Amino acid sequence: MSLAQFDPADGTWDVVIVGAGPAGAATAITLAGFGRRVLLVEERTAPRFKLGESLPPASIGIVKHFLGNIEDPSQNFPGVFRTAGNVSVWASEQPDVTEFFFTSTGFGLCVERLAFDKALREKAVAAGAALLEEVRFESCVHTTTDADFNWQLTLRSETQTMQVRARYLVDCTGRRAAVAKALGVQPVPDNDQLFAYAQWFSCANPDEEHYTRIEAAPNGWWYSNRLPAVEGGEPMRLVVFHSDKDLPAAKMAARREGFDALLGDSTHIGPLLESKGYQPCGTIRGAPANSQCLQAFCGDAWMAVGDAAQAYDPLSSQGIDKALRTASHAGHMIHYALSDFEEKAAGLSSSNTYIGQYSAQQQQLWQTYLTQRNYYYGMQPRWADQPFWQRRRS
């Protein structure tokens, strides 16, 4: 649905969710399942590239909860590719292989984000949420003069501006945290400058490689995985170099010649591509990959979910898993808070019991993540004199 098709007579929404990535769509699915009137606003005016992500077997259950039985081999599930395990060249030059065969599911997932996100949005609409596309969030005003709604939002497309009303507002705009920042809530200052430089590769030869590969390097680290094949298309592989944006290696990775030179120095990923005949295709794309956390995760009738609340270093492989799990929790807490308000006029402030539970959970998740991140980086003993690794030991 476009803004031109939107009917202002739809009145007040229980919840308006800004941002329709995994966190936004999953929050919408959860709330619509409770019978809430949900408006899901997709800010992107056109599909953009999104880096793929690997999910461990432990994440299969939450993906299945929102999208259905992905364990059925007869289903052509969009946006995912089964992985057999991880090959990590980290603590030494010897590969450390983790097999998924012996887990409860027997496989992990590599996610192609554009198709995966689209599938989640379709599930949200099927659950009863309204999807407003090609619209960006402009501003919001909190009101205390009308008991029927708490927010008046201004949404804008290329040709039109419209006001919508909501009882609850959810920020799912990712690292930009557009709604939170409009409310004066900023990310906690941090010196993390991690940036991801992605290059796609294709080859004319068959590729039955089913492992996610991670490799440490003097000035950062590499990630590579096969992507879900497009029907009739050549095998595709995503290769990403992670480094701090201010380091010389990062500046090299932003250009084809520099990226190739860095890849040529890699111990395992470069030779793997060469052995299978992969050639680069398209342009190198970049995206922030730093750790980020908001100063506050929620407030009076608003909440941040997914990367808008806290974004993780991709080494954790928790981005999509976190988005789906926190979206489920947020959807439940918002529904309970709205129910309390309806039954007891208890108010929707951050002091509400359910909203307080969400904030406490987010704080705990952040501390757990920091401990794990520091542990993973601390496991890599080589190149201790290099700035990238020095920063992660300080």
pLDDT of residue 193: 96
Domain-terminating residue out of 288, 319, 339: 288
> Could you tell me if 278 and 209 lie in one domain?
yes
Task: Give the tens place of pLDDT for each residue, 295-332.
Answer: 999 998 999 999 999 999 999 878 899 999 999 999 99
> Could you tell me if 100 and 197 lie in one domain?
yes
> Could you tell me if 39 and 136 lie in one domain?
yes
pTM > 0.85: yes
> Could you tell me if 197 and 258 lie in one domain?
yes
> Could you tell me if 355 and 374 lie in one domain?
yes
Domain-terminating residue out of 253, 288, 323: 288
- 54 assigned to some structural domain: no
> Could you tell me if 238 and 137 lie in one domain?
no
- 80: domain CATH number is 3.30.9.100
Domain-terminating residue out of 288, 308, 330: 288
pLDDT of residue 49: 67
- 57 assigned to some structural domain: no
- 333 assigned to some structural domain: yes
> Could you tell me if 341 and 307 lie in one domain?
yes
SS3 per-residue string spanning the chain: CCHHHCCHHHCEEEEEEECCCHHHHHHHHHHHHCCCCEEEECCCCCCCCCCCEEECHHHHHHHHHHHCCCCCCCCCCCCEEEECEEEEECCCCCCEEEECCCCCCCCEEEECHHHHHHHHHHHHHHHCCEEECCCEEEEEEECCCCCCCCEEEEEECCCCEEEEEEEEEEECCHHHCHHHHHCCCCECCCCCCEEEEEEEEECCCCCCCCEEEEEEECCEEEEEEECCCCCCCCCEEEEEEEEECCCHHHHHHCCHHHHHHHHHCCCCHHHHHHHHCCEEEEEEEEEECCCEEECCCEECCEEECHHHCEECCHHHCCHHHHHHHHHHHHHHHHHHHHHHHHHHCCCCCCCCHHHHHHHHHHHHHHHHHHHHHHHHHHCCCCCCCCHHHHHCCC
Residues listed for the chain:
394
Task: Give the tens place of pLDDT for each residue, 237-257.
Answer: 999 999 999 999 999 999 999
> Could you tell me if 40 and 96 lie in one domain?
no
> Could you tell me if 153 and 182 lie in one domain?
yes
Tell me the two tokens of residue 292.
């980020």
Q: Out of 46-55, 189-198, 234-243, 246-255, pick the least confident.
A: 46-55
> Could you tell me if 297 and 372 lie in one domain?
yes
Structural domain that includes position 225: 66-111+193-288
> Could you tell me if 273 and 305 lie in one domain?
no
- Percentage of the chain lying above the pLDDT 90 cut: 69
- 136: domain CATH number is 3.50.50.60
Count of domains forming the chain:
2
Is the pLDDT higher at 79 or at 165? Answer: 165
- 232 assigned to some structural domain: yes
> Could you tell me if 22 and 170 lie in one domain?
yes
